[in-house]
Structure 1
Amino acid sequence: MKVVIIPIIVLVVSSVFSQQKKESFSSMFSIENKSVTVFTSADSTSLKLSRANSNLTFRAFNQPLETDICIFVNPNKQFQTFIGIGGAITDASAEVFAKLSKEKQLEFLNAYFSSDKGIGYSVIRTNMNSCDFSSKSYTYITEGDNELQSFSIDIDKEYKLPLLKKAMAMIGKKASLYISPWSPPAFMKDNNNVLQGGKLLPEYYQPWANYYVKYINELEKEGIPVWGLTIQNEPMAKQRWESCIYSAEEERDFLKKFLGPTLKKAGLGNKKIIVWDHNRDLITQRVNVILDDKDASKYVWGIGFHWYENWSGGNQMYENIDAVNEMYPTKNLLFTEGCVEKFDSKKYQLWANGERYGKSMINDFNNGTVGWTDWNILLDQYGGPNHVQNFCFSPIHADVTKDELIYTPSYFFIGHFSKFIQKGAKRISSVASRSKLLTTSFLNPDGKIVTIVMNQDSKKVKYNLCIGMVATEIEIPSHAIQTLIY
């Protein structure tokens, strides 16, 4: 059969990072003379971000039959602009990193932050004051110092700051670092405890707003530029670890009357403020209250969310992200935390843990998310350290007694996105004709398309990657994820 090549041209206008949802980079895409490079990770095989030996070419493919399995990609239909993927550098991650040999530290840094040798993380989240993944509870002031005269981040200088600096240096200009508090100091709260929830007392709204300014300034004095901040980690969760409760109205009022104006007055009005930073279940109520108030909304860059809403026994509520995107299309959606809970070293290589990442990332991006942040980037062989024994999985673990890094399936699943999608990419339409396949696609600034396909089935699948009136046939193993570059 003679191969007919039909070019598809996509014209895109230039963009500015701060307006990524409205604009795009200058580029042109054509399928002519293109071939497809395939990277695959699959369960019960040696395939881990493995590149196929041969490149695939396109052929004429007009009307698919009902029996054909297809992934339909349309570069003419463009959506949000991608800012990056990354994870959290917590106290726990930094403490474990410090116990590794210099050789293993370099391997670890390359594994996450190098696009060539690793998976190209560009987003970092870090904790302001302690969190559960700290070896102990701490704040940056002496208790009762509402004037913040004693403010010091010296406690971070032993472990966290050195790792932050190494990671930021490796990422370079693409880096987006944001901070999140788990709790204000105890004296500022109605339960006089950094643990067990409690609320920020109204008389400390201003000192607490000043606290963010102090922390951002101290980080930047250390040469660590801060891109943004979330107002409060999980503001509706009373935890046995560091936590603080805000109703939607309380978060709105703290933002519009204190935090927003304080950051602006301090010359930090360019920092991206992210509200909610909790699960998908209550997200619409929170954003309705905050974003329908114009005085609060003007300070909001975006809405952060986590994936733990299935604590109730239900399913992941991806549709709520789409609902927020539909209601507030000018605001940005950012996944700010997810991990596999209940650490068990026997499940290091449990493939389903990786599939949880793949399914969430595809659905979140397809529903308008601009970036995706995993939880701890490194934990030890016990799933910690954690001062309340809330041990969890991370994509990479270190057995510090053996000076060994353990790469889990989650690392490779995340890498299928973070290694290949470039900052500034535009998500484009990508739709599967069978429910067993999940897919999302991005048009990179360099003019190439990245399509991710995930096979949830226990059998291998042959599918057609269709662009306009041409296609190429690809086989994906059972329980596998593929990245296609063309």
Structure 2
Amino acid sequence: MKSISSIFLTSILILQANYSSSQNAGSPGVSSSKSNKKIQIYTTAENSDLKLSLSNNLISKEKATVFIEIDASKTFQTFLGIGGAITDASAEVFAKLSPEKQQEFLTAYYDKNKGIGYSLARTNIHSCDFSSESYTYIAEGDKDLKTFNIDHDRKFRIPLLKRAIKTADGKLTLFVSPWSPPAFMKDNNDILHGGVLLPEFAQSWANYYAKFIKEYQKEGIPVWGLTIQNEPMATQRWESCIYTPEAERDFLKNFLGPTLEKDGLGDKKIIIWDHNRGDMLEKRAQLVFSDPEVSKYAWGIGFHWYETWNGGTPKFESVGNVHKAFPNKNLLFTEGCIEKFDATKFQFWGNAERYGLNMINDFNNGTVGWTDWNILLDQNGGPNHVGNFCFAPIHADTNTGQLIYTPMYYYIGHLSKFVRPDAKRISETVSDKVLLSTSFKNTDGKIATIVMNQSDKNVVYTITVKSQKNTITIPAHAMQTLVY
């Protein structure tokens, strides 16, 4: 029986060969009829060997029941990228892999030809729950930051970031996020369990962001942007800090924004909120973006998908409402993962479909980029210093040294590999909600249409672009990317 990683390597090599040849010699395995000539179909499907596989044999002569019409003349937001968070946990697990498995992992995520071409990344400013311990970059009580250093990160995280950037051909858009100020700067004197930033340390904390960015850039790691605070309305048993809407606004307006400008970092993109979709997303946007004195510092607003924690449905409409209200500001998905780790569910297909559902709907509501949580965790869903274990698209079994590719990895790849930075989302209509879809036009002129079928049955659909029509079968519980 083949290992999961060997199956992955075989499929990805086939994909690379087919993708390369299709760029040079038309679509292999497709009839020479005019309607089918210019399209390539890549499919991932449950209960099959299809994993980002070239599958033009799914061109169909059956009668379609769903119709997708593309209008490339109508364009929307510009695509920033797709990626995941390079946390301490990810870096610590990566360091335990053999050199061969490390290279396989890097290729799988960051090589746009042999892998799925991640172009976006997030990392934590000192510790978060996905660190093996709590730590900061200064001695406790050092308000003037005289002891500031990032030696902790040089052991695991910085080496992984550098290799990821190199594998991505030097083009990895990185933003950074704090989970909590140091304990002495907070009213609860605790880096964990919420609390608020004390006013007398606001300037010191703003200086801390600037020092972190500068130190990372000295290491050759460009920082594109930052969020003000991870989940500012959640008191957690791990690193956390509470900001009311007004407190976040005032910290940005009076301290963080001016400090970054003063320190020559005014080009860094500042992202507010960095918490769940829903009413608060809209309220934060309204408060900050409607005030010119603070809005000038804010590139956009970030959000997570955990608003469903109490059994509710995803609030995609709140993303759309912010986009409509503030079309000149940017929406960025900054974190999402499958919670409550269960080692029996590495291959549970519903996890992948949750990713597909969220990605497609977020992009169709104006989101410019999408950031998964940890890029790598171990076989236990960690390490995590408070036991908050979860899933990642790829896990490493540190006992066997093998990589475990989950269906989530392939579903994310259906967008990240084929929709490239600076693409424009284009208009489409879908006749039946049995299929979800989104479409982008890349800068090379090629269009990528992503189609997802969550139903238990194969669906035959026709996609129309101007006068070109193709009828295609999408298997049950499958994701497809059409490139044409």
Name the residue aligned to 1:24: none
* Partners of 2:35 and 2:469 within 8 A in 1: no
**Residue 397 (structure 1) aligned to one of 395, 398, 406:** 395
Name the residue aligned to 1:435: 433
In structure 1, C-alpha distance between the alignment counterparts of 2:36 and 2:56, rounded to whole Å: 19
Tell me whether 282-291 or 383-392 shows the greater mean CA deviation. 282-291
**Residue 371 (structure 1) aligned to one of 351, 360, 369:** 369
Name the residue aligned to 1:418: 416
In structure 2, C-alpha distance between the alignment counterparts of 1:431 and 1:48, rounded to whole Å: 26
How many residues of Structure 1 are paired with residues of Structure 2 in the alignment?
449
Residue type matched to 1:42 in 2?
Answer: A
In structure 1, C-alpha distance between the alignment counterparts of 2:480 and 2:159, rounded to whole Å: 35
* Partners of 2:65 and 2:459 within 8 A in 1: no
Name the residue aligned to 1:348: 346
In structure 2, C-alpha distance between the alignment counterparts of 1:362 and 1:231, rounded to whole Å: 26
Residue deviations 1:320-376 (CA, integer Å, cap 9, x gap)? 000000000000110000000000110000000000000000000000011100000
In structure 1, C-alpha distance between the alignment counterparts of 2:421 and 2:182, rounded to whole Å: 36
Residue type matched to 1:259 in 2?
Answer: L
Name the residue aligned to 2:310: 312
In structure 2, C-alpha distance between the alignment counterparts of 1:327 and 1:352, rounded to whole Å: 33
In structure 1, C-alpha distance between the alignment counterparts of 2:415 and 2:300, rounded to whole Å: 21
Distance 1:55 1:480, change over 3 A: closer
1:290-305 alignment, distance < 5 Å: 290-305=288-303
In structure 1, C-alpha distance between the alignment counterparts of 2:379 and 2:66, rounded to whole Å: 42
Name the residue aligned to 2:473: 475
In structure 2, C-alpha distance between the alignment counterparts of 1:35 and 1:107, rounded to whole Å: 32
Shift of 1:456: 1.3
Name the residue aligned to 1:42: 45
Name the residue aligned to 2:20: none
In structure 2, C-alpha distance between the alignment counterparts of 1:246 and 1:53, rounded to whole Å: 51
1:56-205 alignment, distance < 5 Å: 68-205=65-202
In structure 2, C-alpha distance between the alignment counterparts of 1:430 and 1:126, rounded to whole Å: 34
Distance 1:471 1:352, change over 3 A: same
Residue deviations 1:397-456 (CA, integer Å, cap 9, x gap)? 000110000000100000000001111100001221111100000000011000000011
In structure 2, C-alpha distance between the alignment counterparts of 1:142 and 1:267, rounded to whole Å: 26
User: Any idea what SS the aligned residue of 2:155 has?
Assistant: coil
1:142-291 alignment, distance < 5 Å: 142-281=139-278, 282-291=280-289
* Partners of 2:35 and 2:468 within 8 A in 1: no
Shift of 1:170: 1.4
TM-score w.r.t. length of structure 1: 0.90
Residue deviations 1:187-213 (CA, integer Å, cap 9, x gap)? 000000010000000111100000001
User: Any idea what SS the aligned residue of 1:321 has?
Assistant: helix
Identify the structure with the greater helix proportion.
2
In structure 1, C-alpha distance between the alignment counterparts of 2:383 and 2:131, rounded to whole Å: 7
Shift of 1:316: 0.4
Gaps of 5+ in 2: 1-33
Name the residue aligned to 1:329: 327
In structure 1, C-alpha distance between the alignment counterparts of 2:208 and 2:94, rounded to whole Å: 28
TM-score w.r.t. length of structure 2: 0.91
Residue type matched to 1:104 in 2?
Answer: K
Residue type matched to 1:185 in 2?
Answer: P
Shift of 1:173: 4.1
Shift of 1:69: 1.3
In structure 1, C-alpha distance between the alignment counterparts of 2:383 and 2:450, rounded to whole Å: 34
Distance 1:99 1:234, change over 3 A: same
Shift of 1:73: 1.0
* Partners of 1:431 and 1:440 within 8 A in 2: no
In structure 2, C-alpha distance between the alignment counterparts of 1:184 and 1:222, rounded to whole Å: 23
User: After TM superposition, which residue ranges in structure 1, 4 or more long, deviate above 6 angstroms?
Assistant: none
In structure 2, C-alpha distance between the alignment counterparts of 1:440 and 1:407, rounded to whole Å: 25
In structure 1, C-alpha distance between the alignment counterparts of 2:189 and 2:65, rounded to whole Å: 63
Shift of 1:220: 0.5
Residue type matched to 1:478 in 2?
Answer: A
User: Any idea what SS the aligned residue of 1:451 has?
Assistant: strand
Name the residue aligned to 1:7: none
In structure 2, C-alpha distance between the alignment counterparts of 1:142 and 1:279, rounded to whole Å: 33
Name the residue aligned to 1:383: 381
In structure 2, C-alpha distance between the alignment counterparts of 1:409 and 1:56, rounded to whole Å: 23
What's the C-alpha RMSD, in Å, of the aligned pairs?
Answer: 1.5
In structure 2, C-alpha distance between the alignment counterparts of 1:469 and 1:206, rounded to whole Å: 60
* Partners of 2:393 and 2:407 within 8 A in 1: yes
Shift of 1:312: 2.2
Residue type matched to 2:234 in 1?
Answer: A
Residue type matched to 2:209 in 1?
Answer: Y
Shift of 1:52: 1.3
* Partners of 1:37 and 1:55 within 8 A in 2: no
